Chains A and B, each alone.
Chain A
Amino acid sequence: MANAATTMSVNAAVTLPKRPNPILTFIRQQPMGAVSFVVIFIMMFAGLFPQLVAPYDPLGIDFAQILAAPSWDHLFGTDAYGRDILSRIIYGSRTALVIGFSSSLLGSSIGAVLGIASAYFGGRVDNWIQRFVDILLAFPIIVLALVVVAAIRKTVIYGVDVNLIIAIAIPIIPRVARVVRAAALSVSVMPYIDAARAAGYSDSRIIFRHMAPNVVAPFLIMFTAFIAQAILLEASLSFLGLGVTEPTAAWGLMLSGNAADFYREAPWMVIFPGVAISLAVFAFNLFGDSLRDYLDPRFKT
């Protein structure tokens, strides 16, 4: 057995060209993507271990330091309750990431399954799914999210607003379904799908085992791009008072409430959360774009 293994590896070594490290190739081909990933990584680290990074308790009220300007004590200043803005941004990244990630994952996954099923079955199934998608697409993203948030009960599990995740995921579904359907349509006519059908595999096996891996590139791109959208949407909903509620640290929330009353006297109250939102959205969008270019075989030689 060991003998066979060695001859196998020898053979493989002789004829197989060494595969270049995909991470290094990504950095070389997509430097901006790599930079944006660093931003995302910092955000993730801050979100996972805020207590290691944050200088203060995000909820700690200090009436002696109300509306303090940025200084060495409070790098980003404090808000109307004397809470440290830097710490609130760091803790806020957890809210943004959890909601952004999970709602985008939920929406994109449902959308992808609908899109692939639509392309694979065609005919009447395709028609029904696509008309449903049309209806959802008729509403602007924020309006649809508002409707859903208003319609379902607030449910918080382990400090996560599940209703918010669902509300953000639903407008994502039709958009992903459309794009994935287009990609899946071209996959569905490939001979290897015919081969799978000729072998008598079940529909679900063909969809999940044969088609899904081949539309993973558009899926990943949509997924990362919609994380940015979801973060923005969560901030908007919180700003409108329908999302995360006080005193939880959330970027959108930090822009609303009494920040609106004090922004003239204490502009740092809105500047820094705003910058955090922009940076996160920018990073995810850029990363999605580079991922698309990297995964698209036409960009490879």
Chain B
Amino acid sequence: MEAQVQVQSRAAQSSVPLLAVEDLHVRFETSRGVVRAVEGVSYTVNRGEVVAVVGESGCGKSVSALTIMRLLAKTGRVTHGRIMLEGRNLLELSEDDMRAVRGHEISMIFQEPMTSLNPVLSIGAQIMEPLLIHLKMTEEEARARALELMQQVGITDGERRLSQYPHQLSGGMRQRVMIAIGLACKPKLIIADEPTTALDVTIQAQILELMKNLSRELGIALVIITHNLGIVARYADRVNVMYAANIIEKGSADDIFLQPAHPYTNGLMRSVPRLDEPRGTKLQTIEGLPPDLRMPPEGCRFAARCPHKLEKCLKPIELIDLGKGHEARCHRVDEIMSGALKVEFPSGPAVTSQAHIGDKPILEVTNLKKYFGVKAAGAGIFSNEMATVRAVDDVSFAIAPGETLGLVGESGCGKTTVGRVVLRLDEATGGTIKFSGTDVTHHSGREMRGVRRKIQVIFQDPYSSLNPRMTIGEIIAEPLKVYGIVPDKKARAARVGELLTQVGLFPYMAERYPHELSGGQRQRVGIARALALEPELIVCDEPVSALDVSIQGQVINLLEDLQTRLGLTFLFIAHDLAVVRHISDRVAVMYLGRIMELADRDEIYKRPLHPYTKALLDAAPIPDPRIERARAPRALRGEIPSPLTPPSGCVFHTRCPIALDVCKQKVPEARDMSKGHLVACHRAEEIQRGEVLQGA
């Protein structure tokens, strides 16, 4: 209650907060026991305010939001607490009254814009639906309002869009439609559950900018639920950090980012690679896993993973007030705030010697092309008319032994296809792939066998890259057996144990099945499987993007360690610029099947010479509100064009702020601007001299 009084005094415009979640407890009855998903969560949201709820998967952030909307699954039960919306307890409303609240007073935006729109209803019908139901508008009124809403969320050509269906829109457009539906009845509060997680960096910046502006202009309060601390720094007024069903810290964005009190908040921020940190720093990681919510520890829930735990941390703890609405649930918070205790997390063994990078390239890709034939749009069922998707168009690069080349780009830019063609999972349409000096582009299956041992892969999704019907031991032992590397069964089991230890797991885990492990552990198994063949090159296809923030850091550190110890070469494919910068020696930026810029990682992040690279860097969030506020909103306009009909000339000209006529006609050659800094832009010299895009 004390906390509330404080928050209210901060927001003096209104005496009663718009929404007050008070001591909420939610439990799920599952066949494996009672999961206490939310325990004693309280927070308030004032009118027109942006409040963030941050936490890793399973911490209860989404459950608490769904409880506000009373949309919990059948097995979920609120055991205690109140949810007050302007003085009414939402938990006590009848189902009919609640229906009037949903969509009308509170609306919700979900993570996945692909599945949260109904594919068989037109966009217009879906935007108009809440207007017809809640506001009892006539068809014409609703249509007029729908057009107005489309304009508000930045959808041009609204008239035509109204009759389109979700599959005809891009992901970013769909999320705009979701926001338009959310705004339709002028709600007082919008809850956005991971609204930009499924979107690309440049689109994510557009959507967040839009939501923030709308909330300012229309005075709508916004609750953003996310795992990404970076996006919160720029847009949130206040932040609640959740861990294992509790709020462990709350405060203003400045409090949380500049003076984090709880060790977990500290750790979360340090385990994420940042664009503005110096080169060569090793990530600090939070070791271990969150507690099992069926039997959470009695004391501080973070104690088991905390490097500064004491005897007293095993005792229960409540939120401790630090003044001005800043609260934290930690026994040693006074020491941390006074500076007596500096929070440090282990960063694993420090990499003292940089891996030796050879001169002769281990992998050489020259003019690589991969085209896919798809049925042309509008072709009849009997027509064989084909359209060509140029997934990869004229891509060249080389990787030296021991080096890491980062391949970065938005979805659909062809980065994954490059990886698949290098692995020979897909056949190249043109160009050559040389491995250790041998052209392997057209090797037959048998010839490839020897090469395959040397090139391995780590996949993005640790849930689907392991065969669910095989034990961990079988999965790792299989290549050893098939290639006859370790023919003896006993020796094989020993080698499996060794590999598991090498990736930070325990040998006894060999008997388990993939579903018995956590996401991070599975990704480690994927790495162990790749290592089993003692490869020279590993293609890492988004190896950390499906993992939680604290786990990401662990896996990145592991990959770096293995590289130095085993002299591995990585082709590291990812969409996260900060991660790529952290791990790579050189970085290649791809857009619509082409490499736009390729340079040393510091060079490319400090002196980007391609407008697209600049735009990507501008859109990437930095978890520091001071820096974020200083950055001008420079969201890249427009959507990525379809690779079916790529723009003529430079593929980026449709979104480029400095495009000239020549860009529309001539494909720019990649030119070496300085010491291997390759740029494919007609105006690279002007950018280098600072004549255009100054200060960007």
A: residues with CB less than 8 A from B are: 8, 11-12, 16-17, 190-192, 194-201, 205, 209-210, 213-214, 216, 300-301
Contacts and interface: CB of A to CB of B under 8 A. Distances in A.
Interface in B125-169: none
Interface string B467-511: 111100000001100110000000000000000000000111001
Contacts of A16: 512, 516
Given A194-B425, A198-B452, A210-B467, A17 B32 contact: yes
Contacts of B455: 198
B32 A200 contact: no
Interface residues on B, range: 35 or more
B426 to A, nearest CB: 10
A199 B534 CA distance: 11
Given A11-B506, A301-B31, A200 B464 contact: no
A194 B456 CA distance: 11
A213 B471 CA distance: 13
Contact of B529 (A195, A209, A210, A216): A195
Interface in B444-462: 448-449, 452-453, 455-457, 459-461
B328 interface: no
B443 to A, nearest CB: 11
B508 A199 contact: no
Contacts of A216: 469
Given A195-B465, A214-B467, 9 more contacts: A190-B464, A191-B461, A194-B423, A198-B423, A198-B457, A199-B479, A200-B453, A210-B467, A213-B467
Contacts of B466: 192
B464 A199 contact: no
Interface of B: 30-32, 75, 420, 423, 425, 448-449, 452-453, 455-457, 459-461, 464-470, 478-479, 482-483, 506-508, 511-512, 516, 526, 529, 533
A199 B75 contact: no
B568 to A, nearest CB: 16
A200 B448 contact: yes
Given A11-B506, A191-B464, A301-B30, A198 B456 contact: yes
Nearest to A19: B516
A201 B467 CA distance: 14
A209 B511 CA distance: 18
B508 A11 contact: yes
A44 B529 CA distance: 44
A260 B181 CA distance: 70
Contacts of A195: 457, 459, 465, 526, 529
* Residue among B449, B466, B467, B478 with most chain A CB within 10 A: B467
Contacts of B468: 214
Nearest to A189: B464
Given A198-B425, A199-B482, A214-B469, A192 B508 contact: no
A225 B647 CA distance: 55
Nearest to B463: A191
Contacts of A300: 31
Contact of A200 (B449, B507, B508, B516): B449
Contacts of B423: 194, 198
Contact of A199 (B456, B459, B469, B516): B456
Contact of B75 (A190, A201, A301): A301
B396 to A, nearest CB: 23
A200 B507 CA distance: 26
B455 to A, nearest CB: 7
A131 to B, nearest CB: 17
A116 to B, nearest CB: 14
B452 A194 contact: no
Contacts of B508: 8, 11-12
Contacts of A199: 452, 456, 478-479, 482, 529, 533
A170 B524 CA distance: 46
B598 to A, nearest CB: 25
12 contacts: A11-B508, A191-B464, A192-B464, A192-B467, A198-B452, A198-B457, A199-B482, A200-B449, A200-B452, A200-B453, A201-B478, A213-B469
Nearest to A5: B508
A2 to B, nearest CB: 15
B193 to A, nearest CB: 22
A8 B493 CA distance: 14
A108 B75 CA distance: 39
B483 to A, nearest CB: 8
Contacts of A190: 464-465
Nearest to A29: B31
Contacts of A213: 467, 469-470
A12 to B, nearest CB: 6
Contacts of A196: 467
* Residue among A17, A194, A205 with most chain B CB within 10 A: A194
A8 B449 CA distance: 36
A17 B515 CA distance: 12
Contact of B465 (A191, A205, A209): A191
A260 to B, nearest CB: 51
B511 to A, nearest CB: 7
B32 to A, nearest CB: 7
Contacts of A214: 467-469
* Residue among A199, A209, A210 with most chain B CB within 10 A: A199
B464 A12 contact: no
**Lowest 6 CB-CB distances: which A-B pairs, in order?**
A200-B452, A191-B465, A213-B469, A191-B459, A8-B508, A192-B467
A204 B467 CA distance: 16
A200 B526 CA distance: 16
A197 B448 CA distance: 11
Contacts of A11: 506, 508
A192 B465 CA distance: 4
Nearest to B31: A301
Contacts of A201: 478, 482
A214 B453 CA distance: 25
Contacts of A192: 464-467
A210 B464 CA distance: 13
A196 B474 CA distance: 13
A111 to B, nearest CB: 20
Contacts of A205: 482
A192 B476 CA distance: 12
A196 B466 CA distance: 10
A1 to B, nearest CB: 11
A10 to B, nearest CB: 9
Nearest to A194: B425
Contacts of A200: 448-449, 452-453, 482-483
Contacts of A198: 423, 425, 452, 455-457
B420 to A, nearest CB: 8
A198 B526 CA distance: 13
B543 to A, nearest CB: 12
A205 B449 CA distance: 14
Nearest to B532: A199
